[in-house]
Amino acid sequence: MASSDLLLAFYGDDFTGSTDAMEALALSGLRTVLFLSPPSPAFLREKFSDLRCVGVAGTSRAMSPREMDVELAPVLRELWTLGAPLLHYKVCSTFDSSPEVGSIGHVADLARAQLSARETIPVLAGAPPLRRYTVFGNDFAAAGEDVFRLDRHPTMSRHPVTPMHEADLRLHLSLQTKCSVGLMNLPELAGEDEAVDARHAHKLAAKPDLLLYDVADEASMRTVGRLMWNEAKRAPRFAIGSSGVEYALAAHWRASGVIPPARATFAPVTQVKQLVVVSGSASPMTARQIEWAGQNGFACLRVPTQEFADEQSGQRAHTQLFESALGALAAGHSVLLYSAAGPDDPSIRTTRETLTARSGNTAKVLGSALGRLARELLARTGLRRLVVAGGDTSSYATQELGLYGLEMLAELTPGAPLCRGYSEDAQFDGLEIALKGGQMGKEDYFGKARG
């Protein structure tokens, strides 16, 4: 594969968000593989010579700025050397982050210092296909049938790690970086291409460090994709945003003939008798999905999260959970291991206090523990389908499975597809895995994943 064949490279700040971006590209007919570490050009030529887009799934949403300097910066530099016209730092469409954890502003500082020099970095949060919208710089997201401003969103305003108290993304980012943030709003995106281009050029001439784009519908999304791609064709660009970046680019590529206009189709999800689900999500939707699963044949087992605060009690809890889950599987049930049932679960606060005091990273401890449980259950039973719920949980749990890459296999719900896992271990190569963000899917999502 020549670097000229690549249209896009991206890094996801968590695994669920990364599969979301991969899905947007795959549905556009662009073969995309999501790796767990940056692939070398030689590896891509040998095993994936027909890729058009390359992604790396990361864990930076749970990192401090200092950890980003050590762990994230080298990965971004490696992806930059692949030579794609655009390198996208993929974040959740709800932009949940803070100066201390998952700082999007710090990533902008890194990119400007090491990759894109003094070029304006485009920033895009809205993703209408996922019911995420940005209007006059303020971000909105759906919850059930309703759409909420982020600071009033029932989940994101109460996120256990990075609650969103400000919907204006310019103000939100100003707490994380000294970069100036411009805005291309909806009225400025409307009209004939020539007029929009002139307004865009005027915005860029002011040399903002970051330029945030409104997106509210298909038309504005396609226009933003055109503006971003035109800049990327002049010279490689670094972008920050949700999978709205992929949706916007794909909309423009379809309209301009870069890719076929027809949406790609995937085979339906095949039915399996049993699957394993592990959940570290505290969202209300995941709580409803856990309740649905318990009413529809799943054995739902609560994880005693505080027991993982030290090695001895953690091993004891691991063994007990493993045996309980194995017994349920032997009885013919699908198994769901969960750490919390919604944002009001009393275990959340006590677990965070206990684990943070002893280990410093609650998400890593719990996610890794759930990943090890899933791996051992799959290895013992030979089951070939797994669902992981929760953004941070997915990031750490997937790393325990011995996979090096994921590729979309089938649609389940927008943003949380069923994927094929790639591994050097024959036992796990071809594993079917779905990574579900807390808010993704309807109440019967785990049932759909079972087929």
Q: Which residue has the higher pLDDT, 449 or 393?
A: 449
6-34 average pLDDT score:
92
Neighbours of 73 (CB within 10 A): 16
Say yes or no to pLDDT of 354 above 90. Answer: no
Of 48, 68, 55, 49, the residue nearest 19 (C-alpha): 55
Residue 108 within any structural domain of the chain? yes
Of 330, 271, 339, the residue nearest 304 (C-alpha): 339
Q: What percent of the chain has pLDDT over 70?
A: 96
Of 375, 300, 365, 392, the residue nearest 338 (C-alpha): 300
381-391 average pLDDT score:
92
DSSP codes joined into one string, 153-189: -TTGGG-SSS-----BHHHHHHTT----EEEE-HHHH
> pLDDT band at 379, cuts 50/70/90?
very high
297 shares a domain with 237: no
423-435 average pLDDT score:
94
Residue 23 within any structural domain of the chain? yes
335 shares a domain with 230: no
Please give the mean pLDDT across all residues of the chain.
91
191 shares a domain with 313: no
- Amino acid in position 318: H
352-372 average pLDDT score:
74
How much is the pLDDT for 14?
85
pLDDT in tens, 227-275: 999 999 999 999 999 999 999 999 999 999 989 888 898 989 999 999 9
Range of the domain at 113: 3-256
335-356 average pLDDT score:
78
The enclosing domain of 406 has a CATH number of 3.40.980.20
pTM check: above 0.85:
yes
pLDDT in tens, 431-448: 999 998 888 899 999 999
How much is the pLDDT for 343?
79
Q: How far apart are CA 275 and CA 432, in angstroms?
A: 10
Domains: count for the chain: 2
How much is the pLDDT for 341?
84
Residue 263 within any structural domain of the chain? no
223 shares a domain with 367: no
Q: Which residue has the higher pLDDT, 177 or 396?
A: 177
175 shares a domain with 281: no
SS3 (DSSP) at 134:
strand
The enclosing domain of 218 has a CATH number of 3.40.50.10840
Residue 184 within any structural domain of the chain? yes
96 shares a domain with 62: yes
282 shares a domain with 246: no
298 shares a domain with 166: no
Residue 138 within any structural domain of the chain? yes
- Name the phi and psi angles at 277, rounded to 5: -125, 135
Six-digit token pair at 224? 């933003």
238 shares a domain with 104: yes
294 shares a domain with 249: no
